Each structure stands twice: as C-alpha cells, then as structure tokens.
Amino acid sequence: MIEFRSGLRESDAEAVARIVTRTGVFSAEEIEIARSLVEETRAGLPGADYRFLFVDGAAGLDAYTCFGPIPGTQNRYELYWIAVDPAARRRGLGQALIEETERAVRALRGTHLFAHTSTRDDYIPARAFYVAHGYVQHADIPDYYSDGDGMAIYGKRL
Ligand SMILES: CC(C)(COP(=O)(O)OP(=O)(O)OC[C@H]1O[C@@H](n2cnc3c(N)ncnc32)[C@H](O)[C@@H]1OP(=O)(O)O)[C@@H](O)C(=O)NCCC(=O)NCCS
C-alpha cells in the first residue's frame, strides 16, 4: 500500500534536489529549478501554482511529481516533474504515482495532462513510461534544449 503526501515540508526542497540529482538525467540548472519550485510554493509566492505528490521512503523521498494548471488554457495541466529514485525503479512506483497524479488533476477538473521531455537516449525510460500509461506523443522538436537534444511533447486526455 503506497502512501502519497501532498503537503509540503521544510525538508522537501533538499529532498527534491537530491532525488532529481540521483536520477542522473537532469542538468545542474534543471535541479535548481526543481528545488526552487518547492521553495516558491512553500513561500506562497503569488502566481506560483504548483502541486506536489510525494512518496516517502526510509532514506528520503522515493518518488515525486510536480504538476499544475497551464496558465491561459481550459483545464489543461502540465506534469512538470516525475522522478523515482533509482533504487526504487521498475517496481510500479512510477505507475502508482502517475495514476494518483491523474486522479488529483481530475479532482481539480483537469481534462488533459501534458509532459515535455527530452529526446536523448537517457530519457528512453521516461518516454517508454509515458507511452505505457496511455500518453500520446504529439510533437518532436529537434534541437530544442540544445544541439542534438530535442523536446518530445506527450499528452493524455484524462
Ligand atoms: C520514468 C520513471 C519515472 C519510471 O519510474 P518507475 O517507477 O521505474 O516506473 P514503473 O516501475 O511504474 O514502470 C511502469 C512501466 O513504464 C515502462 N518503463 C519504465 N521504465 C522503463 C525502462 N527503463 N525501459 C522501458 N520501459 C520502462 C514499462 O512499461 C513499465 O512497466 P513494466 O515494468 O511492467 O514493463 C523513472 O525511470 C525515472 O524517474 N526516470 C528519471 C526521471 C525522468 O526521466 N523523468 C521524466 C522526465 S521529466
């Protein structure tokens, strides 16, 4: 039985930076963005509308998602981050977490969930994961992040 937590704790900024670092796929700048989304949300900064779901483990976070409404759209949500600690992968945790995240988005009247990800080889697990959960690839923008590193956009009608 997996327990999900949506309330933020003071330790979460560090915990998020740690798990995102441990995935091994994100740049230093991306890790700082992941951390700052937690800090901004905890600080209650105006304009920040990020929601979180955490799965706590014995040695810190086992997994988390960060998602929120896409400004200017009708009930469309973005999955900004999903990360499962490397030690906890391939055991269905990511699946349980994305399903819980989709439930949370539906409860907020969200009708679609989108995710942007890299086309690099080290994101093969992420892209396979999205496809396995019913996400359709809508776009592939070459060289978006940097030369040779494109962006794939996935979406799902909930
Ligand atoms: C993508 C990620 C969240 C998946 O988490 P996970 O807990 O390992 O996923 P699950 O165990 O629930 O896997 C569910 C299904 O996704 C697919 N999948 C997951 N990892 C995969 C991999 N490495 N290769 C191929 N398919 C994979 C499979 O269909 C899998 O089902 P199966 O194990 O029965 O074959 C995890 O690999 C991760 O944190 N990656 C680094 C961060 C990242 O890239 N995030 C997304 C971009 S923001």
Digit-coded pLDDT (tens) for 71-114: 999 999 999 999 999 999 999 999 999 999 999 999 999 999 99
Spatial distance between the Cα atoms of 111 and 29, rounded to a whole number of angstroms? 31
Q: Is residue 132 part of a domain?
A: yes
Give the predicted TM-score (pTM) of the model. 0.96
What confidence tens digit (pLDDT) does each residue in 103-116 have?
999 999 999 999 99
Residue 4 within any structural domain of the chain: no
User: How many Å is the Cα radius of gyration of the chain?
Assistant: 15
Quote the pLDDT of residue 45. Answer: 85
Give the chain's domain count: 1
DSSP, res 72:
T
**Residue 83 CA, ligand 1 centroid: distance in Å:** 9
The C-alpha angle with vertex 52 and arms to 38 and 137, in degrees rounded to 5, equals 110
Query: 87 phi and psi, to 5 degrees?
Result: -75, -10
Nearest ligand 1 atom to the CA of 85 is 39
Q: Tell the residue nearest (CA) to atom 21 of ligand 1.
A: 125
Asked if residue 101 is part of any domain, the answer here is: yes
Instruction: Spell out which residues line ligand 1, taking CB within 6 angstroms.
Output: 23, 25, 81-84, 89-95, 117, 123, 125-126, 128-129, 132
Is residue 78 within 8 Å of residue 70, measured between CB atoms? yes
Does any domain span residue 22?
Answer: yes
Structural domain boundaries, residue 43: 12-157
Domain-located, residue 1: no
Relative to the CA of 81, which ligand 1 atom is closest? 48
Question: Looking at residue 135, which CATH number applies to its domain?
Answer: 3.40.630.30
